[in-house]
Structure 1
Amino acid sequence: MGTIEALIPAARQANTADLLEVDADELARYVADTANPWWRREPCAAALAGRVPEAHVPKLLAHIRDLDETAGVRIALLDILGYREELLPWLQHEDRKADNSYGVPEAILKARGMVGDRTATCELTTLANSPWPHRSAVGEAGLEALIARYGTEEVLSQLDDARPDDRAFCVRLRHRAGEDVTEALADPDVGVACLAHSLVDDEEALRRYLEHAPTADAKLWAACALYRLNNNLSEIQEIYDSLGRPRVEIDGLDEEIRSAIRGEYAPGCQARTDPRWRVEAICAEPVQPPDEYDQLRRAITALESANPAPHRPILCGTGYSEGDGTYNEIRHGGTTVRVSTLGRFVTGNEDVAVRGALEAAGFRWIDRTLGSIKVTGLCVYFFGDREPLDVYDLLFYWQD
């Protein structure tokens, strides 16, 4: 077994430190040889950072341009060679927009920053503002490369203040420079305001800001920031009361369902969630979840009156063979009942006998009309999206 094979015995098992000691010429030849497995070539490419032999550059650049090359190898090569001026025409070519190999479009954008392409600035700020950390880190790296080359002011001059992504980047830069970003709590874009609330760190400045904040939402963001800094419940409750306890009102959503959903999702909500949900969740009385075992026992007993042989309850994750969520599933006969872990909520096929038996046992049946109500303003992660969901998906949530 050769040195490289010994240092990378299997996929994702590279001895990164020792690879840095391997001769650069040997590594470059190994990367360029497509007969070698991609999972060895990728870490070998990364180990060439800062020491790519000039004689191998043309061939390695060709691998970047090769659409049939493995995405991981192309990305690793872009990381170490993206700054090469001769690569710029290819990076800027219109065809790059159609290059959808996983992670490659982001790596191309980062490389445009590395090579000094200021026309990529706004695309990079959008990438840097991605809710996916692995994508936002790539965008930030491209922007940092532009700043290192041209300076902060020159990069800022490329931005459009009308774009929330660009404003978010400015907030990050100002905070990093030690500037006060409290005023950004009033940004009309909820994502930018949320970012500012996560960065401000001066309690007294926030209290002063509350006195003249231009909007109720800005005051709510300031209250959230204060609570993040001091965990003083009475202070945020006082602010909430002074504002009239504003809520995101939703037609048809009663307090029982609202409380269950708020208690489960508002505390860990996504960045674009309305601040009214955030403050309501902090100030509301804690929601006591039901006794899951007792609830399932009562459901089984009720179902036995409508059908004598219900199956054993299973968690939604078990039913899908992966993941987790907020309901248990009971199968019996030709129907399936879902029992929420968030409250006395059940749903299933419209079987009159089943529904009647469960309602007689004290459960609430979530029918199509009630389940289709959109819980606006409350953003929840759901299969890659981070948008408001309807009552059904929230009470009977599953995520793999």
Structure 2
Amino acid sequence: MAEIVLDGVSKRFPDGTVAVAELDLTVADGEFVILVGPSGCGKSTTLNMIAGLEDITDGELRIGGERVNERSPRDRDIAMVFQSYALYPHMTVRQNIGFPLRLARMDKARANAKIEEAAGILDLTDLLDRRPAHLSGGQRQRVAMGRAIVRDPRAFLMDEPLSNLDAKLRVQMRTMISRLQNRLGTTTVYVTHDQTEAMTLGDRIVLMKDGVVQQVGPPEGLYDRPRNLFVAGFIGSPGMNLLPAEFTPEGLRTPLGLVPPTSRITEALRNGPPREATAGLRPEAFEDARLPRQETAQLPAFTARADIVESLGPEKYAYLTLASARSDGVPGTAAPDARAPVPLVARLDAKSPVREGELLELTYDPTQIHLFHPETGTNLIASP
């Protein structure tokens, strides 16, 4: 195991394209870090620079305290798991897992012991004599991971290893990878474009866009305290609702109506905000007003038409078009909103009787509002 340090690392291609710009990141010994972002953001290029598959244009890469910029991939003592399983079709599972040990000329008894141990960890013991053609996609990926495990590397590098699996297998493999990393405690850098994988797997997330790191932190930190609009919109499924807003002496005016001053709004006002802003609310901030609440506090309410309703068993998603809003959060004082219709998604309790096409009265928690600068996209409240 080893600490991985990227100190001002950049990658610039011959045509001048900057794939990664001055990346500073420390992956602690035994930590599980996720590189996530849209296609072309630089996450795979970063992983390839750590592996030695891409040259570093500027900056320094250290693994276990040693500079490795000029070292070949085989001399960095890392193991990679790719999106493609890259198994030898003519070899059995046992032979595929043990291939790196054969290259290292490890004695047969010791190699067999390591293969059996890896197979036991990955639940492959009964499959050791099969060939890849007779395995499922999930089993093939486990074989590829077993081949990495037997090397006892200082770090694992995983490049979208679950992309070729169906939805059910992805969930199973996510759980297996998490348990495996907890058991082995090996430093791991994992690349994905799937924010669900990022939220459920890593100790920390590194969210990238256009080669630049947007935010680094634990999953709940990026979800609860997004640094900018990009982070707010990328993390979370469905994404955060973003609404135009205007600061007034009475509070925050939005398509939902006038939001009374909250601690977040007050904090944003202290920071000298612009006149206008972008307000963000997660889907879970909304509730069907027809359902009883334990809290006694009166919440602001508004009316919207439910265009589409998705029932997922324990919860429902209502995709809405705002029709009108209460101007002061007090029932009985509804006033039409002059703005253009605004789309909205709300995550509701499964007990909600909402139906497609009906006007629905919703309440929302104003303390969960996020505020962003309309031009720069930065969070107007305290930085995470």
TM-score (norm 2): 0.29
Q: TM-score, normalised by structure 1?
A: 0.28
Higher strand residue share: 2
